Amino acid sequence: MEIEKYMAEAKQQVDCCLDELLAKEAQEPPTIHRAMRYSVFAGGKRVRPILVLAAGESVGGARRVLLPLACAIEMIHTYSLIHDDLPALDNDDLRRGVPTCHKVFGEAMAILAGDSLMTRCYQILTELPDVSGATRLAIVREISYATGTIDGMIGGQVVDLESEGKDIGPETLEYIHRAKTGALLAACARCGGLAGAADTRQMEALSAYGRSIGLAFQIVDDILDVTSSTKDLGKTAGKDQKMKKATYPALYGVEASRRKARELTNAAIETAREIGPRAEPLLGIAQFILRRTA
């Protein structure tokens, strides 16, 4: 299995499906639909939707059925990026190498574009074709908790913001990473499993896999912020240190952080192997997350 080929093909299908699921730019009112599309198509690697596909397919789900779910989760991820980049939060001008939503459309439209992408995500989840009503409801529940204030994405973002410039311990750092990035990545694996009708044992494996790669992903993100250039990264490099953000390299050093990311990746790969031969892309995705350079 060539993971690069798998990911490239999946990305193309995700982009195509995102285009279908987002209102056209001409749809009234056009500004908000332009802003939503701008940020969704501003060059993401589509790690989350590809993870949904690979998790769902690992338990026998059909790609056609998994694609709208994958795209809905990419929309909620994009909402979080748009709001995180706002001047009142991380105040970032660049994301994925292009100007952030508020730099192009203004703050008001960026706030509303974020709100709209979260809302559109829930619209899509209630209408997933060929997924039972009970499963759709379970998926809405999964996503809403993964992005919520208690051990979810917003909770992690709040603690991250409040930790700037403070000395925080390993426990707080792990909370931030698990909640801010890990919870949604784990939900990708779990939702793929739900839509693919995974059994209890498979759901447990997918949850463990998701938790491991979720934390690995954020540790690699921290390392890249220290070791990469703004050009390579597509967003402002060295920003964590400048903002005095708590990171793995700051707490443990780059080498120990790399070791931790490798351990988590190996654990994820072991867990994915338990699911069986159809889980091979999950192994490749774990490797990709470890080795990525942007």
Give residues in contact with a second copy (CB under 8 A). Answer: 23, 27-29, 31-33, 36, 79, 83, 86, 88-89, 106-109, 111-112, 114-116, 118-120, 122-123, 125-127, 133-134, 136-138, 140-141, 143-145, 147-150, 152, 154-155, 157-159, 161-162
User: Quick one: 98 or 161, whose CB is closer to a second copy?
Assistant: 161
User: Quick one: 119 or 228, whose CB is closer to a second copy?
Assistant: 119
Minimum distance, C-beta of residue 104 to a second copy, in the bound complex (Å): 14
187 neighbors 210 (Cβ within 8 angstroms): yes
Phi, psi of 207 (to 5 degrees): -65, -45
User: Quick one: 147 or 212, whose CB is closer to a second copy?
Assistant: 147
User: Quick one: 27 or 230, whose CB is closer to a second copy?
Assistant: 27
Side chain identity at residue 208, one-letter code: A
Rounded CA-CA distance 179/76 in Å is 15
User: Quick one: 176 or 269, whose CB is closer to a second copy?
Assistant: 176
Minimum distance, C-beta of residue 63 to a second copy, in the bound complex (Å): 23
Q: What is the CA radius of gyration of the chain?
A: 18
Q: Angle at CA 13, nearest 5°, toward 11 and 18?
A: 90
Rounded CA-CA distance 220/261 in Å is 7
C-alpha 159: how far from chain center: 18
Return the residue matching tokens 């000395």.
167
Side chain identity at residue 2, one-letter code: E
The DSSP code for 279 is: G
Q: Environment class of residue 186 by beta-carbon count within 10 Å: exposed (0-12), middle (13-18) or buried (19+)? A: buried
Strand partners, 95: 98
User: Quick one: 197 or 254, whose CB is closer to a second copy?
Assistant: 197
